Structure 1
Amino acid sequence: MRRMTPARRILLLVAACVFLACTAVPAWRGAKIAYHLHTARYLLGQGELAQALSWLAYPLQEQPRSAEVHYLLGNTYRRQGNFDRALRHLAKARQYGWRREEVDLQVVLIDVQRGDVEAADPLLDRAAVHAVPDDVAVEVYEALAKGYLALHRIEDAMVVLDTWIQWQPRAVQPRLWRARIHERENDWDRAAAEYRQILSVKPDDVPALLGMAGALLARNEPVQALPYFRRCTELAPDPTQAQLGLAQCLRRLGRGAEAGQLIARLLRGSLTLEQQATAHYELGLLALADHRLHAAIRHLQTAVDLAPQHIALRDALAEALEKAGKSRQAASHRQQAERLRQQEDRISRLLAALAESPHNPDLRCDAGDALMQGGYPREAVRWYMNALKIDPEHRRAHESLARYYEAIDMPDLAAEHRQHATQAGAQPQLSKPDQPDGLRGDGPPPTPKACGPVQDQPPLQKLEQRAGPP
């Protein structure tokens, strides 16, 4: 046998390396994509939506025509409330061959999250007969809760969350939402109780740790809040909010120098407008406590400029101005703070009335007007649109939307709503019942439907009857 020459041996070795590279690189890339998709699905199941999006970036880059990648992106954006992006990715998922029934479910859940909660009824009725996987049941619970909250039907949202917890007692997400609802109502004891339940199951859950710290701080318990904020700074991918809370605790505990140093360091970084306002507010209070009135006024004025709707900021600025002998400016800020309090009180009374009459479009327009006057136009528009969901020809809602779209230079939308308002004005105005058509009988209206465990009962069940309308 002829001996292989050194040159031929080297050539074969190079060829083998090239072959291995050509086969190993695609295999490695495929394994990396599969790992990213698996991790993204896990994070979706945990409700970690922002992290799920970051893990889907690489698969999208490598496989831009992957039906699965676009479906997962559509699911994630839908749960984040970014419905336009969700619909674009879901359309691509369908185009590239993803299962049509799963895409259709996501589209229905978008409608439910937007407040069209009745859109879930056919799905719930069908699922009452046929078993539904647990992950689908969770998505329906989540969308229903968000839809009821979008309509400010708090009692209905609580019914869904309560039933979800009865089914999955260790679930984090429904308890987190219940805590947030209690926070809206300034019921810090109940909010703290929910956070404790979450932390007993998942001790390092960052939203629960941050929420618990905030609830304790709201109860003026900075000593108890301090370790929760410290733990958040260790665990959170972005510890800024926890560090601001830590600084608030330090100030209340009389450790002003530490608080000031921490806030000054944060201001050198990247903060949201809300966080900047909080940081300057805290620095203003520190300066006010040290009788450094010029610095206090400077920081508090900056805070008010960044967040003009915050009453506490104006109150503090008025106090600093008064102490500096600037009584006229102080009086102006006190008047503005009082107007904001009256607006908040009006909104609170409207929300209480809506809890009693959730299907009254006039009350929803009243809430929209109050929010528009208070400087929250996007929230106001949502309330006007909710009024139109109840009564598509509600004249006042169309007129309000027409004015809004004219003000932001969107003449086509303004003209469309103006035309609807004119047509509604030409029709006789009938008084609207608090309940929609089909709910006018003597018996109580139906309660929301919800999901249950696949193993022991049909996964979508009607909830226990509750007193009062949905």
Structure 2
Amino acid sequence: MTVDTAEPVIPTRRRARYWLFGLLLLAGAGGLLWGSRGLAHLALWRGREAARNHDWRTAESWLAEAQSWHPLGGESTFAWARLNRRLGRIDVMSSALQDAADAGFSPRKLQREVWLAEAQSGRMQSLDAKLGNLLVAGEDLPAICEAYVLGCLLNYRLNDALRLLDLWQADFPDDPQPHYLRGRLIEHSTDFEGAANEYRRAVELASGHGAATYNLGRALLALQNTKEALRAYEQATPILYAPQPGLVGQAHCLRLLGRLDEARSRLDEALASPADDPEVAWRLAGEPVDAAASRVPAEYGHVELAAENYPEAEKWLRQALEADPHGWRNRYSLATALRQQGKTEEAAAHSERVEATKQALAECDRLIVKLRKVPDDVEARFTLGRTFLQHVSEKQGVVWLRSVLDHDPQHQPTHRLLADFYRDHADENPEFAALADYHRRQLQADQEPQDVTEDE
């Protein structure tokens, strides 16, 4: 019989409790009883340091501990709200901000956090109006810059993002986040070598930056450097918020290298350890959240397609399309699997839909190039919003449409389309019914909500 001499793995939350309890014992032994307030300050400091290093799981554990020890006049609750904003959990953030307000925390800082949340989700009006004053004040600049740049990326305001990144990087040369976000921005222009260099620099500054390591893998894949991409994904997997994106990235590389059994093994591991919150896991890896639930079955389908195991490929690809009906690449692969099994009629229907999507996306590419030169082109933004809504991503489509209203608040086709969208999806979010009513009220007397399904 063998004896396992490895140290037991203690979950992060429990480690935080043991660490604090140990300090409490030491403090008591030395006659320096810190009390709950001192322990809350310590946990708060540890949580903020972890967040600064993009160690999100550890940050969650420490900041939860800080709240459990003492509210610190709302400071620990505010830190919890900020973390959840960065994780994209806006409902948790809103609740925590209210708790911080009830505890007497600074109303000015609470309002600023709301502006940052709006900006990073693509609603830029509030932060646009206040940005100059906030930058001059010089308080909390990295948080402000990050939210603003994320909003600019969503709204395709690349020049605005670049200008702020330059300022951010000049003032905080040791911060990895400007390099990471610059890499994301450079990828938009398909400069994958430049993007890879920025991701490498971010990792040099913060070796635990899981998103930068993961995105380096994606850039290397685009450069057809599959073996190096595989190494990047392997390094990213244990330091990401959840391992699933890294495991899927590894499986993708292994498939391209012809190592199909190893690819299946990675995907089985991903299925055996699903993310608690898949959208957060993929968002923090720098990927769109719409397709989060489809990523594992989609890659499994492509592995089976490469193995010419067409019935299995069909099974997995159907699961992927059920999770993300807009995944046109998965639809194309499903058509291939069906055709190989003689299911030509269904395959033809999927292929027809793929061709319609590809034509729409080709028009989007043209419009995006146009927006680089004329970012205020309202009609281009409207067409992009409508196309994304119908063919690519409803979330991104809504962001594009809201950007239209930033430039023309009375744009009637946009209000009509948003009124229809929120009405049709009212059962998905309790706020959608009110949003549908709001956009309906913005329509002029001779404009009635109707489904907009064809190009105008």
TM-score range, shorter chain: 0.7 to 0.9
2:147 to 143, 153, 157: 143
Residue 63 in structure 1 maps to residue 70 in structure 2: yes
Give the aligned residue type for 2:80: L
For 1:127 and 1:375, locate their aligned partners in 2 and report how far apart those are by CA, in whole Å.
35
Aligned to 1:306: 323
Please give the root-mean-square deviation of Cα atoms over the aligned residues, in Å: 3.3
Aligned to 1:404: 421
Q: What is the Cα deviation at residue 424 of structure 1?
A: 8.8
What do residues 319-338 of structure 1 show as CA deviations (whole Å, max 9, x unaligned)?
Answer: 22222223222222221211
TM (normalized to structure 2)?
Answer: 0.76
Residue 98 in structure 1 maps to residue 105 in structure 2: yes
Aligned to 1:418: 440
Residue 363 in structure 1 maps to residue 380 in structure 2: yes
Q: What is the Cα deviation at residue 291 of structure 1?
A: 3.4
For 1:87 and 1:298, locate their aligned partners in 2 and report how far apart those are by CA, in whole Å.
40
Residue 160 in structure 1 maps to residue 164 in structure 2: yes
Aligned to 1:176: 180
Whether contact under 8 Å (2:214, 2:232) holds in the other structure is yes
Classify the secondary structure of the residue corresponding to 2:444: helix
Whether contact under 8 Å (2:327, 2:392) holds in the other structure is no
Aligned to 1:315: 332
For 1:424 and 1:51, locate their aligned partners in 2 and report how far apart those are by CA, in whole Å.
55
Whether contact under 8 Å (2:237, 2:246) holds in the other structure is yes
For 1:94 and 1:215, locate their aligned partners in 2 and report how far apart those are by CA, in whole Å.
43
Whether contact under 8 Å (1:277, 1:307) holds in the other structure is yes
Q: How many residues align?
A: 402
TM (normalized to structure 1)?
Answer: 0.74
Residue 191 in structure 1 maps to residue 198 in structure 2: no
Once the two structures are overlaid, the 10-residue window that deviates more, 114-123 or 378-387, is: 114-123
2:311 to 269, 294, 308: 294
Classify the secondary structure of the residue corresponding to 1:422: coil
Aligned to 2:124: 116
Once the two structures are overlaid, the 10-residue window that deviates more, 76-85 or 301-310, is: 76-85
What do residues 173-223 of structure 1 show as CA deviations (whole Å, max 9, x unaligned)?
Answer: 111111122334443222211112222333343222211122212322222
Q: 1:166 to 1:247 in 2, by over 3 A?
A: same
1:73 to 71, 74, 80: 80
Classify the secondary structure of the residue corresponding to 1:115: coil
Q: What is the Cα deviation at residue 421 of structure 1?
A: 1.0
Classify the secondary structure of the residue corresponding to 1:399: helix
Give the aligned residue type for 2:416: E
Q: What is the Cα deviation at residue 368 of structure 1?
A: 1.9
Q: What is the Cα deviation at residue 309 of structure 1?
A: 2.0
Whether contact under 8 Å (2:55, 2:209) holds in the other structure is no
Q: 1:88 to 1:120 in 2, by over 3 A?
A: farther
Classify the secondary structure of the residue corresponding to 1:305: helix
What do residues 12-40 of structure 1 show as CA deviations (whole Å, max 9, x unaligned)?
Answer: xxxxxxxx99x999845444322211112
What do residues 335-392 of structure 1 show as CA deviations (whole Å, max 9, x unaligned)?
Answer: 1211221222222223223333322333322222112222633333333322222222
Runs of 5+ consecutive residues of structure 1 not aligned to the other structure: 1-19, 427-470
Give the aligned residue type for 2:439: H
Q: 1:139 to 1:117 in 2, by over 3 A?
A: farther
What do residues 408-462 of structure 1 show as CA deviations (whole Å, max 9, x unaligned)?
Answer: 3455543432232125969xxxxxxxxxxxxxxxxxxxxxxxxxxxxxxxxxxxx
Give the aligned residue type for 1:384: L
Q: 1:167 to 1:306 in 2, by over 3 A?
A: same
How does 1:272-351 map onto structure 2 within 5 Å? 272=278, 274=291, 277-351=294-368
For 2:421 and 2:130, locate their aligned partners in 1 and report how far apart those are by CA, in whole Å.
35
Runs of 5+ consecutive residues of structure 2 not aligned to the other structure: 1-26, 280-290, 427-431, 449-456
What do residues 254-313 of structure 1 show as CA deviations (whole Å, max 9, x unaligned)?
Answer: 222222233234323325494663433443344334433333333333333333322322
Classify the secondary structure of the residue corresponding to 1:291: coil
Give the aligned residue type for 1:173: Q
How does 1:198-217 map onto structure 2 within 5 Å? 198-217=202-221
Whether contact under 8 Å (1:398, 1:418) holds in the other structure is yes
Identity %: 26
For 1:25 and 1:168, locate their aligned partners in 2 and report how far apart those are by CA, in whole Å.
37
Whether contact under 8 Å (2:183, 2:199) holds in the other structure is yes
What do residues 232-271 of structure 1 show as CA deviations (whole Å, max 9, x unaligned)?
Answer: 2344453222222222222222222222233234323325
Once the two structures are overlaid, the 10-residue window that deviates more, 45-54 or 323-332, is: 45-54
How does 1:215-254 map onto structure 2 within 5 Å? 215-236=219-240, 238-254=242-258
Q: What is the Cα deviation at residue 108 of structure 1?
A: 4.4
* Greater relative contact order (CA < 8 Å, ≥ 6 in sequence): 1
Q: 1:375 to 1:200 in 2, by over 3 A?
A: closer
Which is greater in Rg?
A: 1
Once the two structures are overlaid, the 10-residue window that deviates more, 327-336 or 59-68, is: 59-68
Residue 384 in structure 1 maps to residue 384 in structure 2: no
How does 1:16-35 map onto structure 2 within 5 Å? 27=34, 29-35=36-42
Whether contact under 8 Å (1:388, 1:394) holds in the other structure is yes
